[in-house]
Structure 1
Amino acid sequence: MHEENSPGARAREPVLDTVDRVSELCFGLFMALTFVGTVSAATGGEAAGRKMLYTALGCNLAWGLADAVMYLVRTIADRARRHALALAIQRERDAAAGVRALRDRLSATLDPFISDDDLESIRKRIAASASLPERARFVRDDFLAALGIFIIIVLSTFPVAAPFVLVKHVPTALLISRVLTLAMLFCCGFALGRYAGWRGWKAGLAMTTLGVLLTMAIIVLGG
């Protein structure tokens, strides 16, 4: 029997959770919105729509690449930190010092619920582990997650900027772009709300409002 079919096996987690996906999609929308938020109804020209799409797409390509790379940097830094803690515990002969090291890394919100006996049990398992690698390394899912971040940010450009290519009348294209963006922000908020256990429609409205206000602030600040 395969290990994943055993009663104690955990289901394989997605490389990006709901918060990651929603956050990156919103980030891409906000970046694209900065290029269409100042479009005037008087703006014209046959190539204006394509120019706007290419500009917004170029921006999100660059930011998608940067965000993906920084995700990898953050991931390996966090993994290296945990690896260093595990090595320190294995090398520490004083059990009390090992427990203190674990306690220092424990989240403050969990601290009241985990006793020193619980941490000692964890310390013993880490100290006895023979499978600890020599150093922290990337795994395949890290690169898949980074690729997912890049793709999400790039794809978020099209609902915002594509109407200016498909619809020649700029005011109509601007209206379609805004409606699509608001709909996507609502869906993002709805998904995030369901994930967090909140009421989906309230979270959707809150995300839509936040997105509008944040985009206005970005434009005002020259973003």
Structure 2
Amino acid sequence: MSTIVPDGHAEPERREPILNTVDRVCEICFGLFMALTFVGAVKAVTAREDEGYRMFFAALGCNLAWGLADAVMYLVRTLAERGQRLKLAQTVQREQDPAVALRLLREALPEKLGRLVEDADLEPIRARLATASTLPPRASFVSGDFVGALGIFLLVVLGTFPVAVPFLVVRDVTTALIASRVLTLGMLFIAGFALGRYTGAGPMRAGIAMIAVGVLLTVAIITLGG
């Protein structure tokens, strides 16, 4: 459960970094997979001379739309989670029975964390909420939320370029398609490497695993006619 700060009208909670490593890596991978899938789906639809440009802008348009949707859902999720925490704080504040209030706080903890926390650890939080006079009446956005949404949008859109740029610089569409897939797999390795380093799962192992996911996806696209 996130720490609830009762004295923040403008920002009712202590915020974590707007986008952590997992957020950044996942959004980049989403962009890569979306663009890779879309490019595979529209490959060689026409034999027009400007087909490479058409595929570039098709992939870019796909990820612009996906990035916008993902950014909006980030805002929805952020507001919903903040509202849920505020509702908990208000319920605990109104509860007259300390034992019931402690139970509510405990139920909000992740199961594994709850096993490590005693009621004595939760009591200062309950007492602080009980005497707080500045809880905001409702959950609202703060400026950092929109910065995070913009960051997600840009990460998803930027994931397009390793897939789509070869279609701008290589005339032969088949060669451009191979180049885009190689660049995509390379970027997936970097993303997996960063994720493995962050989680302690092993950077090389995570990078190779992410490439395997990309290869399986590419094979599926080709099998389906991409």
Interval of TM-score (by shorter of Structure 1 and Structure 2) = 0.7 to 0.9
Partner residue in 2 for 1:78: 81
Asked whether 1:143 is paired with 2:143, we answer: no
Partner residue in 2 for 1:52: 55
Query: Identity, % of aligned pairs?
Result: 61
Cα contact 1:34–1:219 (8 A) shared by 2: no
Partner residue in 1 for 2:102: 99
Q: State the SS of the aligned residue for 1:55.
A: helix
Partner residue in 2 for 1:24: 27
Asked whether 1:199 is paired with 2:202, we answer: yes
Q: State the SS of the aligned residue for 1:37.
A: helix
Amino acid at match of 1:153: V
Amino acid at match of 2:152: I
Q: State the SS of the aligned residue for 1:90.
A: helix
Q: State the SS of the aligned residue for 1:15.
A: coil
Partner residue in 2 for 1:177: 180
Structure 1, unmatched stretches of 5+, are 1-11
Could you say if the C-alpha distance between residues 203 and 173 of structure 1 is closer, same or farther in structure 2, counting changes exceeding 3 Å?
same
Q: State the SS of the aligned residue for 1:110.
A: helix
Structure 2, unmatched stretches of 5+, are 1-14
Count of matched residue pairs: 212
For the residues of structure 1 that align with 2:19 and 2:51, how far apart are their CA atoms? 36
For the residues of structure 2 that align with 1:119 and 1:218, how far apart are their CA atoms? 52
Partner residue in 2 for 1:208: 211
Question: What's the CA shift for 1:61?
Answer: 0.8
Could you say if the C-alpha distance between residues 202 and 81 of structure 1 is closer, same or farther in structure 2, counting changes exceeding 3 Å?
same
Q: State the SS of the aligned residue for 1:106.
A: coil
Q: State the SS of the aligned residue for 1:130.
A: coil
Amino acid at match of 2:151: G
Of 33-42 and 164-173, more deviation after overlay is shown by 33-42
Corresponding residue to 1:156 among 132, 152, 159 = 159
- Alpha-carbon deviations, 1:186-223, whole Å to 9, x = none? 00000101110121111100111112224544676799
Question: What's the CA shift for 1:43?
Answer: 7.5
